[in-house]
Amino acid sequence: MSNSSTSDLLKPFKLKTKQQELLIRVSILCLVYILAFITRLFSVLRYESMIHEFDPYFNYRTTLYLTQHGFYDFWNWFDYESWYPLGRIVGGTLYPGLMVTAALIYRLLHFLRFAVHIREVCVLTAPFFASNTTLVAYFFGKEIWDSGAGLVAAILIAVCPGYISRSVAGSYDNEGVAIFALLFTFFLFVKAVNKGSLAWGLASAFGYFYMVSAWGGYVFIINLIPLYVLVLLITGRYSMRLYVAYNCMYILGMLLAMQIRFVGFQHVQSGEHMAAMGVFFLMQVFYFLDWVKHMLSDTKLFQEFLRITVTCAVAAGGIALGVGMASGYISPWTGRFYSLLDPTYAKDHIPIIASVSEHQPTAWSSFMFDFHILLFLFPAGLYFCFKRLSDATIFIVMYGLTSVYFAGVMVRLILVATPAVCLISAIAVSATVKNLTVLLRSKNKVAQIGSTKGTSSAKASSKASLDQSQPFQKNGAMALLFGAFYLLSRYATHCTWVTSEAYSSPSIVLAARGAHGNRVIFDDYREAYFWLRQNTPPDAKVMSWWDYGYQITAMGNRTVIVDNNTWNNTHIATVGRAMSSYEDEAYEIIRSLDVDYVLVVFGGVTGYSSDDINKIGGGVFPVIKEPDYLVNGEYRVDKGAAPKMLNCLMYKLSYYRFGEMMTEYGKPPG
Amino acid sequence: LRREFEIVASSFITNHNSSNTKLFFGDIEFRESQSSFQLFGVNSLPHVRLVGPTAKSLKYDSDVMDQGDFSRLAESMAEFVESRTKLTVGPIHHPPVLSKMQLGLITALLLLCLPLVAKRIFAGETLLHDPKIWLSGAVFVYFFSVSGAMHNIIRKMPMFLVDRNDPNKLVFFYQGSGMQLGAEGFAVGFLYTVVGLLLAVVTHVLVYVKDATAKRLAMLFTLLVSFWAVKKVILLDNWKTGYGIHGFWPSSWN
């Protein structure tokens, strides 16, 4: 009696299987969305909500300007407060996507009457877009394989350290938004190729436009997609859907991309974008041939025609390219991207590019650190994709392989490889788990079939053998499932640990352990900048090394001589020369630049190391000779140091009144 | 290194138009002139040395170039010369990778076989159409990247090092994150690939095997090997980087 009443009560809540499935999926996606956001909040909880590092301060300052002065002034902004006396044309030398996005979110929140400060919006933009990336990953996985793979992909990408490294709260940099735009563009394009609809092609063009406005890495998209189209053409998968999708995306995307002043006419002039144009023309040739084939009924004639046309077309393309490159209209590949194709090029020819720490080649421990077990699942996923070849799986395989190869060349590009690795591993995990659970749940059904189809002897015997091995199979499947679950939980632990220890330091506030184990926080940078802001006249000019330029303009609100944009090497070398010369020479240089204050970062008490100032200064001004500062080939700062070192400006500024400072308790001062 | 030395010498000559005879470049072969080696007091190779005009003794008055400065090859040797002798070498002329003749030959060959290749592609018969080829290519690219082989190529890391304390032992694995040795990269890449491919094999190939015991044995083998490989890689990674990765429990539980 009570049973029926409770079941009557629960009747409106009883869901059909499809509805149950939908509920599970939506709840998982909501939880993953929240997870992706909160795992990036370590530094906000430990320190406070502030912008990290150096480059994001420039982005923050431009966003501030945008919200205060509007889009027209921002787009035409000439910044006279940095690179004094040269100034900087900001509107034409940045990618506006990030700033415009943050400003739009700010406007929206204000419209809904949430009076937040723009800094909070900037700090939390990256985690917000990381959560959106997980949603896009779900839809992408669903497009390539099925919804199970989509869910696993969303989960994996929510915590993957490779992505977290550049999208923690406070890391207000282009990559935070760019990875979302990258995955979104790829998803829309693959959807357009699968459906063959013009609407999806249009959407992918707009997605590409967003990507171009957000990051210089859009070159990867504009080369991967033509390569993918070429592979499809070669393997005989040409179809009308591909034609519609690629044409729409390329033409519209190119036109839209030219609206960004920083990109300008590169889509028709630069060698890096020529692959897309070449494939575009090749597509037209394919379409033409298809139409001729349709019209002609004689195959032999068609073969002849085919051969002649292809030869002519390729020859014409080759000649056009040659003429373009020879006349200088099409510029060759820039050093930055050329070093990806020929990795030994940078080391021999452009030492500046080779010396940046982010551009170093990757050791396997860096891969392990950023991907953990995804590396093991990657080849399995590759195999699954090859078993079920379709236009979409070919795309994800190509994206995965090219991005993993480039990640091996440069550490920084692990970020670009992360979505591909997560997706392919998700396919492996999802397919395996699906097989195992099917095995686990199939026990009853097989027994039934075995009893009803007893007439056919062959079938009965096979079913009987299946029944016999059933117990082992079930146990094996259970063991494997537990193994998979354990692996994934280890992955989650690893990711959380990595995020907490390695990727959550704001680097503008430093922390250390004191003598008694208590935590000591060094907020010296911000205190210094605020001192500048409050105690110096508003038109004062500050000279410092270029690392701190963005921070001084953003927080100290004063004009600087050089900053992180490093577009003028001679200007930087002038500053370097001033820092390394004797005080009287330095005074001449400083007066000629109109400088009022000099900022020096000194790490003598905490053990903080920095850059090679006299190398860079000596590169332009031969007056500065590095061996003058050395004693027996090394740098010393005590009494035995070289006289040039003891008397140069930097040394004097750093060690001013150092003798009065106590270093350690009980030891003599200075 | 000798080729780089030749490049520096030839650049110096071309830049000064053979008019400046203040600097001479020479090289000594050990088998031919052992006594010269002793004169200079050379103990190890490679060895680059500059003898100034005022040097009285070849062994003590000449400047030796540091081993560490060889990294940038021709450019660093030119800098060494400039800093010690106050003579400029001028811009270094690197010989091009492919000579003009070779380039012309390659382009001609390509143009000739282009129509043939295009026709076969359209017919769908080429080797490119077999998915297995693509699959092995894909796995190779993966192996190459993930094992850090690019890092080894660019930095020219050796396969193994000799242990500094015990010259008879060889060190295959480098302790410290960010750098790796040649053999280390290959070993780790192999372990990764084995696990991934075994999983794929078990799911697809094993279904066709008829014998139940064989199937069970294969499964067991795969499980054990995968487990061992993953454990090995994780142990190796922890040893190499020194990180102690642990979960975070609420502090009220301690």
Given its phi and psi angles, is residue A328 left (phi above 0), alpha (psi -120 to 50 degrees) or beta? left
User: What residues of chain B lie within 8 A of the CB of A368, using their CB?
Assistant: 233, 237
pTM: predicted TM-score of the whole model, two decimal places: 0.79
What's the pLDDT tens digit per position in B87-104?
666 666 665 555 566 767
Domain count within chain A: 1
Query: Among A292-301, A534-543, B80-89, which range has the highest average pLDDT?
Result: A534-543
Q: Is A30 exposed, middle or buried (0-12, 13-18, 19+ CB in 10 A)?
A: exposed
Q: Where are the domains of chain B?
A: 1-85, 123-241
Query: Would you give the end-to-end CA distance of chain A in angstroms?
Result: 90
Residues near B12 by Cβ (< 8 Å), separated by ≥ 6? B23, B25, B81, B89, B90
What ipTM is given for this predicted complex?
Answer: 0.71
Stretch 424-463 of chain A: residues touching chain B, C-beta under 8 Å: 428, 431-432, 435
Give SS3 for A633.
coil
Minimum CA–CA partner of A496 in chain B = B247
What's the pLDDT tens digit per position in A362-382?
888 888 888 888 888 898 888
Strands (E), chain B: 49-50, 63-64, 161-162, 170-171
Query: How many angstroms separate the CA atoms of A659 and A331, rounded?
Result: 57
> What is the pLDDT, as a whole number, of residue B62?
63
Q: What confidence tier does A668 reach under pLDDT thresholds 50, 70, 90?
A: very low
Tell me, yes or no, whether A531 lies in a domain: yes
Tell me, yes or no, whether A8 lies in a domain: no
What's the pLDDT tens digit per position in A138-159?
999 999 999 999 999 999 999 9
> What is the pLDDT, as a whole number, of residue A510?
77
What's the pLDDT tens digit per position in A318-327?
888 788 777 7
> Given an 8 Å threshold on Cβ–Cβ distance, is B149 in contact with A365?
no
- Judged against a pLDDT cut of 50, whether residue A195 lies above it is answered with yes
Residue among B115, B180, B193 whose CB faces A379 most closely: B193
> Given an 8 Å threshold on Cβ–Cβ distance, is B178 in contact with A480?
no
> What is the pLDDT, as a whole number, of residue A236?
79
Q: What confidence tier does B81 reach under pLDDT thresholds 50, 70, 90?
A: low
Q: What is the CA radius of gyration of chain B?
A: 29
Q: What percent of chain B has pLDDT over 70?
A: 49
Query: How many angstroms separate the CA atoms of A172 and A184, rounded?
Result: 20
> What is the pLDDT, as a whole number, of residue A508?
79
Average pLDDT over residues B128-150: 79
> Given an 8 Å threshold on Cβ–Cβ distance, is A362 in contact with B151?
yes
User: What residues of chain A lie within 8 A of the CB of B195, using their CB?
Assistant: 376, 379-380
Tell me, yes or no, whether A52 lies in a domain: no
Tell me, yes or no, whether A583 lies in a domain: yes
A-B Cβ pairs (cutoff 8 Å, strict): 175
* Bond into A85 cis (ω within 30): yes
Count of positions (residues) in chain B: 254
CA distances from B178 to A247, A437, B237 (A): 43, 40, 11
Average pLDDT over residues A106-132: 93
> Given an 8 Å threshold on Cβ–Cβ distance, is B144 in contact with A498?
no
> What is the pLDDT, as a whole number, of residue B35?
73
Stretch 169-188 of chain B: residues touching chain A, C-beta under 8 Å: 177-180, 184-185, 188
> What is the pLDDT, as a whole number, of residue A137?
96
Amino acid at B109: L
Q: Is A382 on the interface with B (CB under 8 A)?
A: yes
CATH number for the domain including A551?
3.40.50.12610
What's the pLDDT tens digit per position in B227-249?
888 888 888 888 877 777 777 77
Residue among B150, B189, B248 whose CB faces A343 most closely: B150
Q: Is A352 on the interface with B (CB under 8 A)?
A: no
Tell me, yes or no, whether A203 lies in a domain: no
Give SS3 for A373.
coil
Structural domain for A550, as ranges: 521-660
> Given an 8 Å threshold on Cβ–Cβ distance, is B146 in contact with A472?
no
Tell me, yes or no, whether A652 lies in a domain: yes
Core vs surface per residue A444-479: b (16+ CB within 10 A) or e? eeeeeebeeeeeeeeeeeebeebeeeeeebeebbee
Query: How many angstroms separate the CA atoms of B160 and B171, rounded?
Result: 6
Would you say B65 and B77 are in contact if contact means Cβ atoms under 8 Å apart?
Answer: yes
Give the count of beta carbons closer than 10 Å to the beta carbon of residue A70.
11
> Given an 8 Å threshold on Cβ–Cβ distance, is B119 in contact with A343?
no
Residues near A8 by Cβ (< 8 Å), separated by ≥ 6? none
